[in-house]
Structure 1
Amino acid sequence: MGGDRVGGPPRPRPAPPRGVRPHGSVRRVVRDPAQAAVPARREGLMSRRRYRHSVLANRARIAVVILLGILAGVLFRAQVLRATDWLLQSERNRLRPLTVPAPRGIIRDRDGRVLADNIPGYSVSIVPDQPDSMLSTLRRLREHLDIPAGRLEALSQQVRAGGPRPLLVTGDAPFDAVAALEERRSGFPRLLIEPRPKRRYPAGQLGAHVIGYVGEINEAELGRPEFEDAEPGWIVGRSGVESQYESLLRGSAGTRYVEVDAAGRIVGSFGGVQGVAADPGQDVDLNLDLELMEWIHQVFPDGMNGAVVALDVESGGVLALYSAPAYDPNVFAGVVDAEEWRRLVANPESPLYHRAVMGTYAPGSPWKLVTAAIALDLGVVTPDEHMPVPCRGAYVYGNRVARCWDAEGHGFLDLPGAIQHSCNVYFYQLGLRIGLDRMLGVGNRMGFGNQCGIDLPQEAGGVFPESLEFWERRFGYRAQEGEVLSLAIGQGPNDQTPLKMAQFLLAIARDGSAPAPTLSREAVPAEGWRLDIRPEHLEEIREGMRRVMQPGGTAHLSSLEHFDLLGKTGTVEHGGEEPEHAWFTGVAGPFGGPPEIVLVAMVEFGGSGSAVAAPLVAKAADFYLRGRHGMPRDTIQTLREYLVAGRNTAWANARELR
């Protein structure tokens, strides 16, 4: 009737449009099992990916932490633990260490007189830089410093070789040159001018050969073990005592620091880093008597060459070691001038040659004392025995005629008389009694073919046949017994240094023992040799030497008023056209007392041992002994000088009457 019917059957709903699901309906989906497994697999893959990403992320975090830890450790080590090292490295970049040379030790004589010391000097060096810059500085320095061409070339080679140390241009710059360079400091920014001790030799030429000289160390020496701490430019001993006692005299170098800018230029000294002070070398005291050497120099024959040796009898210490001509060692106190060196080397008089220890000469008649000592040592003669053949001016042996220096002859003589008159004929026969083999054996036992062992870096050994084979090796023939004739009088293959003859005479003056001569008062003498001669036989040799100074002796005019001088003259042929070499060997002391000094003089081409060498030894002995015994010294000393001066010679006449 007019509304919906209640309770009637439901009215059908219209179908929704195609593609539209009815409101409130539930769709029932039926899926395929294979399709249902796909989401599950996808979810598993995603889960595994998330796990893998998580592991990688964790590992990355750990690596980052480790790297940060390492970096922190490195930074901590660099900034905290090595702060001092970096500070030192920084200091090194602006500080430059410089060597401070040690003053060399002083050399003194037995009375404390200075033979070598140090005075203030200046060195000029160039701080290392580029080679071109250093070479330019060297060339400009020649405007103010005297740098010879040879020295400039040597310095240039050092520059090209490079090195961390300053280049020493000169160790002896004149004060005016130093002042000029200081005024131009801005033009030489890498120049280093330092005070440096300079060697000085107050005795000049007197001590040249024995004291020696110093010089700049060379490349070859820098590689030696004894110079392992040395640097280029160091001053070292070159000869004599300076070289022998280098390890004592040198001392230890110190170190100081200078501040440099970024360009390496020195801007001033730096006191923030403690340097090392130089340790001066040790002093060396010698046995030498400078006063005696000065006197020997004064009385040595003008214009002649030769040597004088004086030894203290008691100790064997060297009182004088004089060689003429000489040189001034002060010219070598700094860097040696090549021109000056060449001039000295080329000098025909050989002033660098130390004749006292390096010169070897035929000993001549002084060797007759050796022949006498060997004969007494072997017991083939007694002092009062006469030879069978008297001296008539010559001696015949086989087809050989051996002459005496005195053509009129000396007649029959005992040993002291033969020494007094220097009779060749007596000693020819004495040599034959000894025999050639035994002459060589005992002569070599005395060391006549060897050095004395003096504390000097250079010493020549004598020339003396060590055996009969010497003649075959040297001359090409076998020695015969007659060779002993020449050896017995100091001729033939027999050359000795003045020092060696002095060592032999030391044995005669003492008890037969001959220690090695020594220069340093602290030196322990090397073991020498000893003559096996009874004391009374030694006295007979000394008596023969004493007669040499008495009337009729070959050196009577060189006898002394106040002292007992015993000696032996020698006038020795040398095979040239010049006059003979003049020898005199002597011992002296107070009358009635033991000898106190041994003296040997050798004057090249002196012509006469009696006229030239004997007065030299006599005057040196008188000078030394007067000083030793507190007597006033005099320039009129020998009998000849007394006669020339018209003085009273009663003392000589009294000895003649005895």
Structure 2
Amino acid sequence: MTTFTSAELRRRAQGARLVVAGAFLVLSGAFFKAQVLDSSEYRSTSESNRVRLVPLPAPRGELRDRNGLLIAENTPGYTIRLWADNVDSLRAVLARVDALTPLDTVDLDKVVARWRAAPYQPAQVFSSGEFRIVSILEEHRAQLPGLVIQAEPRRFYPDSTALGHVVGYVGDISERELASERFPDARMGTIVGKNGLEYEYDTRLRGTPGVRLIEVTAFGRTVREGGGGRFVRPVVGRTITTTLDLPLQRFVDSMWRNTPFLAERSGGLLAMRPTGEILAYYSYPTFDPNAFIGGISQARYNEYNDPKRSALFDRVIQGGYPPASPFKLAVAAMGLKRGLVTSSTRMPVPCTGGYQFGSRRFRCWKPEGHGAVTLSDAIKVSCDVYFYQLGLQLGAENLLADGAALGFDDRSGIDLEREQSSRWAHSVDDYVNGKRFGTFTPGQVLNLSIGQGANVQSLANMVTFYAALATDGVKRPPFLVERRPDGPVHDLGLTPAQLRDLRQAMVDVVARGTAGASGGAELLVAGKTGTGQMPRGQADAGWFIGFAPYDAPEIVIGMLVEEGEHGSTVAPYVVKAIRRFLVGPDSAAIAAPVDLPITEDLTGGLPRDGETDGGVAPAAVPPAADSTTP
């Protein structure tokens, strides 16, 4: 055992005292630094640990029709979010939520993905939870750490299916959308427009979000509203007044859904003022935009995406169809502009039910023929043989160049995204590669001249052309809110007298002076029927485009019905819509039968497979191919 002297003990004790004193000095310095010098930093950190920022979405602006009637509004709703420290804790709480109220319309992987993209924000589970769900979750809040339930505005569309395609719908922003420049100032969890007007005018409708602060425990449970009074109220989005006429839109929706012939078929209707202001915009089958609010169920989404109906497909601006006989007015305008014809010009070869071109005979829709007719008469009776010859007089290059100059190679320019361009070659050179337009043959000119062949137009583009015929001969973009400043403008190049002659010919189509056809002697409707020959295996599409009153047009309406048999079958429904807009909601007038003495029921061109030529073709002429490949 070692023995220390008193002096050594004193030295060791002194050393120990110095070590202890030094340690206290170091600790005191650390405490001083933490509590005095760095107090503000640690106070801020502590505050952030117990006070969290919750975004407050701004109520979207309302959408209204031209008379102030509501099209899209906001109703009270609840947003349900979860705070989480990591993915495992988030999935654990989501599993508890799913056990309490099945998350049928929630993609859990997307919830986790949204949290990964913004872990500093609570993960959004429901953007529009029902009160029933909120009640269940509140009852079990103790089992759900990090649960945040917040009252927020919920988008609501009062007329649901009547406005599905034109208004569109809203939903949570996706990662792809967030990465784009389409939605400035958006963040994960922001509600944005997905389609229609909601998408086109999202920036105006969305408003400015606010923020609130909540105090939470170490386990993520909300204690109270807090944060030293820091609270920023959201600013509501702008109200937008559209050009739509809601009563007319409702009428079209009801007419289509409640008429067996229409309810069994797909198609679209577009009505506008001759100035371009759209009054009704309808695609059928339609869908309920309310189904997308808060997340659409897989069953409903599958129903809407059923390829037999394709309810989400917009047949007004995305559908492409052979324009058929309504396109004859465009060919007439080309001939008038170039001075090849006048309203009283007859073609060299009378119509005998068909036209011999080389080794093939192109038929007229009327087997017995129309005889020697003028341009006005050819429009009235829709004589194919007349327009075959007018197309040949124009020539392929002029026909294609003039068609492009009239905008038949372009979009209508409507103020909606995702409009599809029409299909029309600029010149014969466009046919060289044979991919988009096929191989060019001289017979293509005849097909194009009656609205067939490599000629595919949207309903919107055709109605816009007829609006030009109804007014000053200038084709301008239609619009629902405001006209695009950079939209395409095309001058038909016709004189006022030429436009009057074309309008008069279209009055004769609907039956000159027939009050039963036009709603009254003082209400004359001008229009053109058409039967679009679809590809093999598909039934023909029925067209009718008209305007009224013909001498001072107030409304232009075009209607396209897939498998619609003939244009004369479609015409009465357009006249009913015209009556509704011009005469008013007189049930007797609207319900009255529209007996239009229109006899054009078929399309011309070459006989299809299995058909015989109704004209007087020479016996030696070989069997004809389909009209799209002469």
- Distance change in 2, residues 1:217/1:580 (3 Å): same
Correspondence for 1:368 among 310, 328, 336: 328
- For 1:278 and 1:477, the matched residues in 2 are separated by 56
Is 2:347 the counterpart of 1:381? no
1:552-591 Cα shifts (integer Å, max 9, x gaps): x9x99743214110011112221334542110011112x7
Residue 635 of structure 1 aligns to which amino acid in structure 2?
I
Matched to 1:490, the amino acid is: G
SS of the residue corresponding to residue 380 of structure 1 reads coil
Shift of 1:144: 2.6
Inter-partner Cα distance in structure 1 for 2:326 and 2:383: 12
Confirm whether residue 133 of structure 1 aligns to residue 133 of structure 2: no
Specify the alignment match of 2:470 in structure 1.
Answer: 509
Pair 1:638–1:587, CA change in 2 (3 A):
farther
Partner of 1:51: none
2:501 alignment counterpart:
540
Are 2:351 and 1:391 aligned?
yes
Q: Is the 8 A contact 1:145 1:177 kept in 2?
A: yes
- Which of 274, 277, 284 is the matching residue for 1:317? 277
> Quick one: which of 574, 580, 599 aligns to 2:534?
574
- Secondary structure of 1:268 counterpart: strand
1:245 and 2:201 correspond? yes
**Whole-angstrom distance in 2 between the partners of 1:594 and 1:125:** 58
Is the contact made by 1:626 and 1:632 (CA closer than 8 Å) also made in structure 2?
Answer: no
Could you list the per-position Cα deviations for residues 162-209 of structure 1 after superposition, in whole angstroms to 9, with x for gaps in the alignment?
711101111121211211211222222321111111111111111100
Cα distance between partner residues in 2 of 1:262 and 1:353: 50
2:576 to 611, 615, 619: 619
The match for 2:181 is 225
1:24 matched residue in structure 2: none
Counterpart CA distance in 2 for 1:451 and 1:161 is 37
606, 631, 634: which one aligns with 2:564: 606
**Are 1:383 and 1:415, in contact at CA under 8 Å, matched by a contact in 2?**
yes
Partner of 1:457: 417
The one-letter code of the counterpart of 2:591 is I
Letter in 1 for 2:519: L
Deviation at 1:77, TM superposition (A): 11
Query: Is contact 1:213-1:237 (8 Å) kept?
Result: yes
Aligned partner of 1:144 in structure 2 is 100
TM-score (norm 1): 0.81
* Contact kept? 1:122, 1:194, Cα under 8 Å: yes
Matched position secondary structure for 1:99:
strand
- Aligned-residue offset at 1:286: 0.7
Cα distance in 2 for residues equivalent to 1:521 and 1:473: 39
Q: Give 2:518's match in structure 1, choosing from 550, 559, 583.
A: 559
Structure 2 residue runs of 5 or longer lacking an equivalent are 1-24, 257-261, 598-630
Query: Equivalent residue for 2:161?
Result: 205
Q: Would the alpha carbon gap of residues 159 and 511 (structure 1) be closer, same or farther in structure 2, given more than 3 Å must change?
A: closer
1:520 is matched with which residue? 481
Q: Give, as a single letter, the amino acid of the residue that structure 1 aligns with 2:162.
A: L
* Structure 2 counterparts to residues 168-567 of structure 1, below 5 A: 168-227=124-183, 229-270=185-226, 272-300=228-256, 301-313=262-274, 315-474=275-434, 479-521=440-482, 524=485, 526-550=487-511, 558-561=517-520, 562-567=522-527
Q: CA deviation at 1:478?
A: 5.6
Aligned residue type for 2:208? S
Q: Please, which of 553, 558, 574 is the counterpart of residue 595 of structure 1?
A: 553
Determine helix, strand or coil for the equivalent of 2:214: strand
Q: Distance in 1 between matches of 2:44 and 2:58?
A: 27
Q: In the superposition, relative to structure 1, how do residues 191 and 120 fare at CA in structure 2: closer, same or farther (>3 Å)?
A: same
Partners in 1 of 2:132 and 2:105 — Cα distance? 21
Question: Is the 1:618–1:638 Cα contact (8 Å) retained in structure 2?
Answer: no
Deviations 1:1-53 (A, max 9, x none): xxxxxxxxxxxxxxxxxxxxxxxxxxxxxxxxxxxxxxxxxxxxxxxxxxxxx
Q: Is the 8 A contact 2:105 2:297 kept in 1?
A: no
What is the TM-score normalised by the length of structure 2?
0.84
Which letter does structure 1 place at the counterpart of 2:580? Answer: F
CA-based RMSD of the aligned residues comes to 2.8
Deviation at residue 137 of structure 1 after TM alignment: 1.0
Instruction: State how far apart, in whole Å, the 2-side matches of 1:364 and 1:349 are.
Output: 23
Partner Cα separation in structure 2 for residue 368 and residue 227 of structure 1: 43
Greater shift in the superposed pair: 525-534 or 467-476:
467-476
8 Å contact kept, 1:357–1:499: yes
**Matched AA of 1:342:** N
User: Could you report, residue by residue, the CA deviation over 1:599-652 in whole angstroms, capped at 9, with x for unpaired residues?
Assistant: 111111111211x2100111111111113xx9887323454299xxxxxxxxxx
Aligned residues: 565
Contact 2:477 2:483 in 1 (8 A): no
Distance in structure 2 (CA, Å) of the matches to 1:225 and 1:161: 17
Equivalent residue number for residue 122 of structure 1: 78
What do the CA deviations read for 1:45-84 (whole angstroms, capped 9, x no partner)? xxxxxxxxxxxxxxxxxxxxxx99xx89x9799848x765
Pairing 1:634–2:593 present: no
Local SS of the residue matching 1:91:
helix
Contact 2:320 2:456 in 1 (8 A): yes
Q: Give the Å deviation of 1:350.
A: 0.4
Q: Distance in 1 between matches of 2:588 and 2:230?
A: 56
Rg (Cα) greater in structure? 1
Shift of the alpha carbon at 1:158? Answer: 4.7
Structure 1 CA distance for aligned equivalents of residues 328 and 483 of structure 2 = 34
> Could you tell me the percent identity over the aligned residues?
36
User: Which region of structure 1 is more displaced relative to structure 2, 347-356 or 128-137?
Assistant: 128-137
Residue 491 to residue 121, structure 1, CA distance change in 2 (3 Å)? same
Instruction: Report the 3-state secondary structure (helix = DSSP H, G, I; strand = E; otherwise coil) of the residue aligned with 1:282.
Output: coil
CA distance in 2, matches of 1:228, 1:386: 60
User: For 1:218-242, what per-residue CA distance to the aligned partner results, in whole angstroms no more than 9, with x for missing partners?
Assistant: 1122222344533322211111111
Helix, strand or coil at the partner of 2:305? helix
Contact (CA 8 Å) 2:171, 2:293: kept in 1 or not?
Answer: yes
Distance (whole Å) between structure 1 residues aligned to residue 573 and residue 459 of structure 2: 14
**Corresponding position of 1:40:** none
Q: Once the 2 structures are TM-superposed, how far is the Cα of residue 131 of structure 1 from its aligned partner?
A: 3.1
